[in-house]
Chain A
Amino acid sequence: MTKPLIHITDVHHAYATDAGPLPVLDGLNVSVPEGGFVAVVGPSGCGKSTLTRLIAGLMKPDRGEVWLHGERVQSPRSTVGMAFQNPVLLEWRTILKNVMLPLEIVPTKMSKTEQEQRALHLLDLVGLKGFEDKRPSELSGGMRQRASLCRSLIHKPEVLILDEPFGALDAFTREDLWQTMHSLKAEEPFTGVLITHDLRESIFLADQVVVLSGRPAKTQYVMNIPRNGPPELDDLYTPEAADRLNILRHQIEIAQGRAPSEEVGA
């Protein structure tokens, strides 16, 4: 078997706080094959964002190893793209210039016009054609998040890390963006890690769902979602999907330390 693109083995991490060390991750294992898309769910504050910072190389784990593409992650690398719940667009730049920001940091072989072409193409893909000269404040929350996705992909990253990118959006906008994610995935060859609180989102977007236990987090449960082609929203309302959601919800309750045997209502 080929080595997975993202490989996280037995990672432990603690934050230094005034009240002493706070263990956050405690023996975490995640493996994502090239082109795969993993969703990570878990109780609030269990260490999901910490995990993304470790993958991005923004922090080093106390123990254990993070590997990307066969290389051990020691520091940030330009082959990673990130998007957060907060779209963090820069108000003094146009949408186009915001999307092109990573290209000012990452060395690229693209010429200026190619860079712009690519940015415009991505904006078109997410449905923001014609908004390239607008300022972020002129866009709605969902549109800003779309622009933020474009920015995270502009430099053709191998790994796309999404930390609750749709968490602040209303349900309809969120479902729109799920479909946008699938069209992006069809065109861009990234390997994805998605942190989410939304179980339906996890089974709609990912081909693997990892449930983390409560803090300090370890891998508690892994569910594989078989895929043949991009799903439809209707697929979320099949008995199969309901079964998956029930299992995941039950796992979350275990992770939250609520009565593990308690039956979950539909």
Chain B
Amino acid sequence: MTLRKIAVPVIAMVVFLALWELLVWVNGWPNYIMAAPSDLPAAYSRYWELFLVMGWQTLWRTVVGLLIAVAFGIFVGMVMGFSRTMRDALYPLLVGFNAIPKATVVPIVALLFVGAHDFNTILIAFMISFFPIAVSVSIGLSTLEPEYRDILRSLGASQATVFWKIALPKTLPEFFGALKVAVTLAFIGTNLMEIVSPHGRGLGALFDSGKTNSDYPLMFAVLIALAFMGIVLYYVVVALEKIFAGWAERQPT
């Protein structure tokens, strides 16, 4: 069972790499059109120190941005979930804000806080990722059936108790669903900023320098490293979900 769980994705990945290699080989593409997987180990071994440093920068800024998005998203979600008026007031604002393509916001923020690399990267990661969290929490809370509230409220429990004992745990499955989306978004936000901002840091900047130096294998190596980190972050969320909302998982029958 566990062997199967590990073997299946590993085989899928090997097949994917083999197809990629084959595609490049059959078409005889030079590596400035498309690097082959076999070009990557060289790129990694040449720059492995940079990968570690830059990878860490990308990682921690993504995670910090995401954590702020979680805190802020839960707060906004609670406000909207408990108050109809606030929901009516904030919803169009949020939707409008979310509809702005973040690629247009990135250069603005980059110029606004020029040089403050950590700050503006975290800011973008946060801005791009809090929306699904806020929406999921607010929907989770506002669709709580009144009976769930009433079983505790009829005993004299406060709103806060109802929130901690019922509303919050009941919302966790939706929250984690949103967090899976948000983690990917935060990652995109971080990288957008790293690529755009002058003298940026992180894997995005490494990608950018690969571009300036026409080091195509390096660019592809960065892409793969990003994909790898994205997978890791995603599965961290999945693991947290198993711990905190594992009860919501129904056994497939």
Contacts and interface: CB of A to CB of B under 8 A. Distances in A.
Interface of A: 53, 56-58, 75-78, 80, 82, 84, 86, 88, 90-92, 101-102, 104-106, 135, 137, 151, 155, 161
Interface in B51-94: none
A88 B148 contact: yes
A75 B156 contact: yes
B154 A58 contact: yes
Given A75-B156, A105-B156, A82 B250 contact: no
B247 A82 contact: no
19 contacts: A57-B154, A58-B150, A76-B157, A77-B156, A78-B155, A78-B156, A82-B154, A84-B147, A86-B145, A86-B147, A88-B147, A88-B151, A92-B169, A101-B152, A105-B152, A105-B155, A105-B156, A151-B151, A161-B154
Q: Interface SS of chain B: helix, strand, loop or mixed?
A: helix
Given A76-B155, A82-B150, 20 more contacts: A56-B150, A56-B154, A58-B153, A76-B157, A78-B156, A80-B154, A82-B151, A84-B147, A86-B147, A90-B170, A91-B247, A92-B169, A92-B248, A101-B152, A104-B165, A105-B152, A105-B156, A105-B157, A106-B156, A151-B151
A161 B155 CA distance: 12
Contacts of B247: 91-92, 135
Interface string B215-253: 000000000000000000000000000000101101000
B166 interface: yes
A76 B156 contact: yes
A262 B225 CA distance: 81
Contacts of A76: 153-157
A101 B169 CA distance: 14
Contacts of A161: 154
A194 to B, nearest CB: 16
Interface in B153-171: 153-157, 161, 165-166, 169-170
B154 A101 contact: no
A90 B151 CA distance: 11
Contacts of A101: 151-152, 165
B167 to A, nearest CB: 11
B248 A91 contact: yes
B156 A137 contact: no
Contacts of B147: 84, 86, 88
Contacts of B152: 101, 105
Contacts of B166: 90
Nearest to A85: B147
